[in-house]
Amino acid sequence: MLGKNCIFVVKFSRWGKIFVDYFNKIKASQMLYLIESGNYYKIGYCINLKNRLITYDTNNPDYKVITTKDGNRTDEFILHKLCNKFHYRNEWFHKDPEIITVFIEYEYSTWLDRQIQDLIKQETKIRKRERYLKTYVSKNRNKLKQYDMDGNYIQTWTSQKEVQRQLGISVSTLSKCVRGYLKHAGGYKWSYD
């Protein structure tokens, strides 16, 4: 027999089984709760459900806890957005069976997984592109041909970095010269092989 002040929480599983956890067994953890009071539901978040319900009991003795689940403030925020069409004020919503369904079926990890997977895909594309460019540039690097101001061939260089080390001409100046933005760099004309 339940005592006068003993409150119990009903948890619904995916298979429709009902488990009853007595109030005294509830451990302190981050969780979401769905409370029914009159014609309204409240979707809330707390760290210690036991203390939260004691506080709530003093303000509104006519309520019942519909269900609880593990969750955090982000989960609460998302659930509020999902139930926005029933919003009354603050954390309160007009009573509708759809709210219970949304609350029970909501899985933050699924939503989060989708967001993380999207970010990973974007990052993977960027990294693949960078790797491709790095290997493409290193394997298929164009050799530079050096000419004097009269157009006579002097030497072939393997890279712009090599020219920079040997002659002190900056890579950006060489690049501009090869692409046609400058006529010469370092007193020489340059072109790709």
Does 169 have pLDDT greater than 60?
Answer: yes
Q: Fill in the amino acid letter for 2.
A: L
Backbone angles phi and psi of 189, in degrees to 5: -100, 150
Task: Categorize the per-residue pLDDT at 188 as very low, low, confident or very high, splitting at 50, 70 and 90.
Answer: very high
Answer whether residue 120 is part of any domain: no
Please report which helix (H) or strand (E) contains residue 161, including its range: helix 160-167
Average pLDDT, the chain: 76
Do 85 and 18 share a structural domain? Answer: yes
What's the pLDDT score for residue 116? 66
CA distances for 77 relative to 95, 98, 102, angstroms = 18, 17, 13
Do 20 and 79 share a structural domain? Answer: yes
| Structural domain for 152, as ranges | 144-192
Do 148 and 106 share a structural domain? Answer: no
Question: Is 161:171 a contact under the CB 8 Å cutoff?
Answer: yes
The residue whose two tokens read 């955090």 is 72
| Mean per-residue pLDDT, 130-150 | 74
79's tokens: 């659930």
Contacts of 126 (CB under 8 A, 6+ apart): none
- Could you tell me what percentage of the chain is helix, strand and coil, using 3-state DSSP and rounding each to the nearest 5? 45, 25, 30
The gap between the terminal CA atoms of the chain, to the nearest Å, is 92
**Size of the chain in residues:** 193
Answer whether residue 3 is part of any domain: no
- Provide the number of structural domains found in the chain: 2
The stretches of 60-107 forming alpha helices (DSSP H) are 73-82, 97-105
| Mean per-residue pLDDT, 164-190 | 89
What's the pLDDT score for residue 53? 80
Do 72 and 18 share a structural domain? Answer: yes
pLDDT 10s digits, 46-80? 888 778 888 777 777 788 888 888 888 888 888 88
In 3-115, where do the E strands start and end? Answer: 8-12, 18-22, 31-37, 40-46, 64-70, 87-89, 92-94
Model pTM score? 0.44
pLDDT 10s digits, 22-37? 333 444 467 889 999 8
Do 104 and 17 share a structural domain? Answer: yes
161's tokens: 């970095």
Do 106 and 148 share a structural domain? Answer: no
Contacts of 107 (CB under 8 A, 6+ apart): none
